[in-house]
Amino acid sequence: MSRARTQADPEAIDRTLDKASIEHYERLAAEADAHLDELAAQAPLKDVTLEDQLRRRGITRREFLKMTAVMTATMALPSMFDLRVARAAELATRLPVIWQELQSCTGNTMALIRNSNPGIDELLLDLISLEYSEVLMAPSGQAAEDQLEAAIEQYRGAYIAVFEGSVPMADDGSYLTIGPAGHTGIEIVKHVAENAAAVIAAGACAAYGGIPAARPNPTAAVGIADFLNTQRINKPVVNLPACPVSSTNVVGTILEYALFGRLPSLDAFGRPLWAYGDRIHDKCERRGHFDAGQFVEGWSDIEGLKRGLCLFKVGCKGPMAHNNCGVVRYNDGASWPIMSGHGCIGCSEPGFWDTLTPFEVPLAGRRFPVFGIDADADTIGAVALGAAAVGIAAHAGATLVKSATEQRAAKKPEAKKEQ
Amino acid sequence: MATRAVGARPAAVVVQKPGRPALVVYVFGRYIRAAHWIRNALLIWLVLSGTYIGNPFLARVLYPETAEGFVMAQVRGWHVAAGWLLLAFTLARIYQFLFVTKDGKLGIGAELRMAPIMFNWKAWRDQLAFYLLLRRDHPHFTYSNYGPLQFLTYTALYASLLIISVTGIILASPYVSGGLVSFGADLLRPIEVWMGGLANVRSVHRFVMWFFVLFTAAHIYMAVWNSIRTGNLLIEGIVSGFKADDVETKHVTEEELEKGKAK
Distance in Å, alpha carbon of B8 to nearest chain A alpha carbon: 40
Cα separation values, A320 from A209, A314, A332, A355, B49, Å: 18, 15, 25, 10, 19
CA A224 to chain centroid, in Å, comes to 13
Residue B32, pLDDT score:
87
Q: How many CA atoms lie within 13 A of B207 on its CB side?
A: 15
User: How high is the ipTM of this complex?
Assistant: 0.84
CATH architecture assigned to B46-232? Up-down Bundle (1.20)
The tens place of each residue's pLDDT in chain A, 419 residues long, gives: 444 444 455 455 556 678 888 888 899 999 999 999 998 888 777 777 778 878 887 888 888 888 888 889 888 898 889 899 989 888 887 888 999 999 999 998 888 877 656 666 777 777 777 888 888 888 888 999 998 999 999 999 989 999 999 999 999 999 999 988 899 999 999 999 999 999 999 999 999 999 999 989 999 999 999 999 999 999 999 999 999 998 888 888 988 998 998 889 999 999 999 999 999 999 999 999 999 999 999 999 999 999 999 999 999 999 999 999 998 888 777 889 999 999 999 999 999 999 998 999 999 888 888 888 888 889 999 999 999 999 999 999 999 998 898 888 887 765 555 54
HSE of A26 in the Cβ direction (CA atoms, 13 Å)?
Answer: 14
b/e A170-190 (16+ beta carbons within 10 angstroms → b)? eeebebbebeeeebbbbebbb
d(CA B77, CA B53): 10
Among left, alpha and beta (phi > 0; psi -120 to 50; other), residue A237 is beta
| Full set of structural domains in chain A with CATH | 4-276 (3.40.50.700), 281-365 (4.10.480.10)
- Please tell me which of the candidates B56, B202, B213 has its beta carbon nearest to residue A312: B56
Kindly report, residue by residue over B219-228, the tens digit of the pLDDT: 999 999 988 8
Domain ranges of chain B: 46-232
Please answer yes or no on whether B54 and A362 come within 8 Å at the CB atom. Answer: yes
* Closest by Cβ to A291, choosing from B73, B190, B202: B73
Closest CA of chain B from A279, distance in Å? 8
3-state secondary structure of B25: strand
What is the C-alpha to C-alpha distance for residues B100 and B112, in angstroms, rounded to an integer?
Answer: 9
Which of B48, B80, B149, B198 is the best residue to mutate to test the A interface, defined by the most A CB atoms within 10 Å of its own CB?
B198
**More confident position, B34 or B255:** B34
Q: What is the largest CA-CA distance in chain A?
A: 122
Determine whether the interchain pair A384/B136 forms a contact, defined as Cβ–Cβ distance below 8 Å: no
Contact between A203 and A164 under an 8 Å Cβ cutoff? The reply is: yes
The number of CA neighbours under 13 Å toward the Cβ of B104 is: 1
Q: Annotate A345-380 with three-state secondary structure.
A: CCCCCCCHHHHCCCCCCCHHHCEEEECCEEEEHHHH
Question: What is the spatial distance between Cα A34 and Cα A42, in angstroms, rounded to a whole number?
Answer: 13
Q: Which residues of B60-90 are buried (b: 16+ CB within 10 A; e: fewer)?
A: beebeebeebbbbeebbeebbebbeebbebb
| CA–CA distance, B44 with B212 (Å, rounded to integer) | 10
Is residue B137 predicted with pLDDT exceeding 70? yes
A402 chain-B contacts, CB cut-off 8 A: 133
Rounded Cα distance between A315 and A338, Å, is 11
* Surface-to-core class of residue A374, CB atoms within 10 Å of its CB (0-12 exposed, 13-18 middle, 19+ buried): exposed
pLDDT band, very low/low/confident/very high, at B251 (cuts 50, 70, 90): low
The angle subtended at Cα A151 by Cα A147 and Cα A155, nearest 5°, is 175
